[in-house]
Amino acid sequence: MLTFITILAAYLIGSIPSGLIIGKTFYKIDIREHGSKNLGGTNTFRTLGFKAGLTVTTMDILKGTLATLLPVLLGLGMNPLLAGVFAVIGHMFPIFANFRGGKAVATSAGVILAYEPLFFVFAVFIFFISLYISKYVSLSSMIACLLALIYSLVFHTGDLPLIIVIGIITIFIFYRHRANIKRIIDKTEPKVKWL
């Protein structure tokens, strides 16, 4: 029963719509009506600016971190990654925002941060290197995720739950970025201008 409650709590934590909260509270704007109409950090950066974007991205990362740490904090025997996956699902399909959420990148990063901080540093490093070269946030997110999967397969061969979860997250992220993939191919995907 406690395991079910923990999974539900993880989903609800993931469902906290950071972009919607920051946009409506401080800017009187529903970011789902602007830009890519997405609740994540990237659309917040584009719609509301750097400060709001950084705040939302940080909040989204911490959602994944907190949810993943729940089983540890509660002293449960369950693998914390399971809670992390449900936080990611909550972020993508938040009950508090009519199931219209973000693309799972930041919250997934938060899951990795809680489970293995050095793995998180690796993924962030790859993301920014890719962003510097390509100027595409979406492409950089997918590359970082794909290399994270390869990293887990090479350096965590004995940790099957981690490999499975990273594989699931990779599928989630590529699926959520399918429109971005089409725009990248069509050369209509927006590029960052600050890097």
Domains of the chain, residue spans:
2-186
Q: Which amino acid is residue 52, in one-letter code?
A: A
C-alpha to C-alpha distances, 54 to 18, 20, 115, 132, nearest whole angstrom: 11, 14, 22, 18
pLDDT band at 44 (very low <50, low <70, confident <90, very high): very high
Give the confidence band of 13 by pLDDT, cuts at 50, 70, 90. Answer: very high
Burial of 74 (0-12, 13-18, 19+ CB in 10 A): middle
Pairwise CA distance, residues 137 & 120, whole Å: 17
- Separation CA 177–CA 86 (nearest Å): 19
In this prediction the pTM is 0.93
- Digit-coded pLDDT (tens) for 126-176: 999 999 999 999 999 999 999 999 999 999 989 999 999 999 999 999 999
CA dihedral 68→88→124→49, nearest 10 degrees, is -120
Predicted pLDDT of residue 36: 82
- Tens of pLDDT, residue by residue over 98-107, are 999 999 999 9
